[in-house]
Every structure is written in structure tokens, then in C-alpha cells.
Amino acid sequence: MMNVGILGAGGIARKMAKTLNGMDQVKAYAIGSRSPEKARGFAQEYGMVKAYGSYEELVDDPDIALIYVASPHSHHAEHIRLALEHGKHVLCEKSFTVNERQAKEVINLAKEKNLLLAEAIWTRYLPMRKMLTDTISSGVIGEVRSLTANLGYVIDSVPRMREPRLAGGALLDVGIYTINFMLMVLGSDFTSFDTSVTFTETGVDGQSVTVFTYPGNILASLHSSQHVLTDRRGLIYGTRGYIEVMNINNPESIRVYDLDRNLVQELTQPKQITGFEYQVQACIESIVEGRIECPQMPHEEILTVMRTMDAIRAKWNFRYPME
């Protein structure tokens, strides 16, 4: 049984605690919060052994093997570093860090410490990811020529989304899923991109559209927003048909259509605890096997995502205060 400590006591941390309580190989052992009262309440709600009123106390617990970092984007690099320096393996919520420079620094530290460091971008670990790859590889829709993906929620009143000092904005929170969807389908060798953005009154990106060009005149169009609710679909268009992925954030189904728009195949999501269990399982397996990265989301791919978002923000001329 592997003990897991959760750093941060927000909504995403609650989802992870629920996940851990539904698994056999791990225990939701401890919570760390800047508020002792919040930590105690969280620990009581999820049956945890320990509640710490500081992150330093959490990572100093010798009985914890893996730390799940659930703090705002702005503090991910700091908290990854804190956990690694205390000898803990780390699973950090997306966006992995604020930028590629930070990501490189903590990945190098993980290599130095010989500790696992993984990104909790759950779509990379879900069974539906392999199902999608296998479906495309089967040739059922022929040669892939274009792709569209969108993700948006009405979350523009949430403090962490609004605040530049918390690395807010739609790109790092929801746009990252559209980018990962594109990379999983088309790879990372795009040759150019164009992008348009609108900013909020607080100065972070509210919504954007980015179009990537790949060799062979393949196009990918990505839309993300914190202002509106979108249908969350990913569409992959081929020379013999197309694939519709319902909810790129946690695929519910993969539907395959022929050139007459007839549904010819449908794959549905396996039963889940929350969907987070697959990334936790990947971490357990990697730790047991002595790896410092998960094969589902290796370090180089983490850097590719961060590099891509850096490039998009550079075209927007948008930097965060901590940069």
C-alpha cells in the first residue's frame, strides 16, 4: 500500500481524495493546507490519517511516498521542488508549470534526485486514449487531413482563472486539453501556427482560437474559453470518414462515421471511479519499476506542451508576473 499526500485542499484535491479512496493499491494518507482548520476538515471528510497546516510539514512526513500537487498553476514549480527536495515522488496537476523554463528546472531536479515526476493530465492516461489511437491506426477513416477541438466552461468568476498572479487564463486551464488532443492525434511536428485571443478585464486570456499547420497541408483548429460552455468535442477528419470524440476533457464515446455520415463504429468509456485512477496507477507502476517518468506522458512531451503554450502566449505578447 502506497501512502499519498495531497498538497492543496481545493476542488481538484477533493476529486483526487475520492479517487484514492476507491483504489486498493494506495491510501489517501495526508492532506497539506495553509489552513490547519481546512486541513483537519478535509482529512476528516476523506478518512485521512494526517492533516497538516503547512506544505512543509506534509512533505516532511516519512510515511508518504507520493505527493499530488493540487495548488494553483503559479505555484506548481515551487511545490514540485519542495516535494522533490524532501525525497518524494510527485504527480503534479496540469498545467505542469507556468512555462517551459520552470518545467525544465524541476525535471532536471527529478533526474538528479532519481524520483518520479509526472503530470496529471488525465486524458493521456485514460483507456480511451489508446482506443482513439488504435481506431485512427486501423485506417477506418483513411488519411487524417484536419482536426478541430474545443473546450470551454463558464468559469470566468473563479479567482484562480481571473488572477495573473495565479497564472490564470483559459489557455493553461482548458486550452491545454485541446493542445494535448492535437498532439496525441497529429504529433508535435507542426510547421507554423496563427492565433487570436481576447483578454479579460484582469488581463488574462479569456478565449482564443489557434490554428496549426502540419506537413502535408494538415490543419488543426483549437478553441478554448473561460466565458462560455462549449460542446467539448474533438473531430478528426479523414479521407474515408471522420471520428467524433465526445468530451475531449474525459472522452465519453468515440464515434466513427463514413463518407455518407453513417455511424459505423462506437466505443464507450469504461466504468470509472473518477478517471483520475489511471494516472495514479501509472505512477505506482513507474515507481515500482524504478522509472522517473510515466510512459503515457514522458518528460519530453510535458516540455512540448509547455513550449507550445509559451509560443502561443509569445504571439499574444502575454507574460505572467512571475516570469
CA angle 121, 124, 129 (to 5 degrees): 145
**Top CATH class, 127-268:** alpha beta
Q: pLDDT per residue over 33-44, tens digit each?
A: 999 999 999 999
| Boundaries of every domain in the chain | 2-121, 127-268
- Residue-wise DSSP of 180-195: HHHHHHH-S---EEEE
Tell whether domain 2-121 is in CATH 3.40.50.720.
Answer: yes
In this predicted structure, what is the pLDDT of residue 145?
98
pLDDT tens per residue across all 323 residues of the chain: 999 999 999 999 999 999 999 999 999 999 999 999 999 999 999 999 999 999 999 999 999 999 999 999 999 999 999 999 999 999 999 999 999 999 999 999 999 999 999 999 999 999 999 999 999 999 999 999 999 999 999 999 999 999 999 999 999 999 999 999 999 999 999 999 999 999 999 999 999 999 999 999 999 999 999 999 999 999 999 999 999 999 999 999 999 999 999 999 999 999 999 999 999 999 999 999 999 999 999 999 999 999 999 999 999 999 999 99
d(CA 300, CA 283): 17
Using CA atoms, how far residue 235 sits from 119, 254, 255, in Å, is: 25, 10, 10
- Residue-wise DSSP of 223-268: EEESSS-----EEEEESSEEEEEE-TTS--EEEEEETT--EEEEEE
In this predicted structure, what is the pLDDT of residue 255?
98
pTM: 0.96
Q: pLDDT per residue over 150-198, tens digit each?
A: 999 999 999 999 999 999 999 999 999 999 999 999 999 999 999 999 9
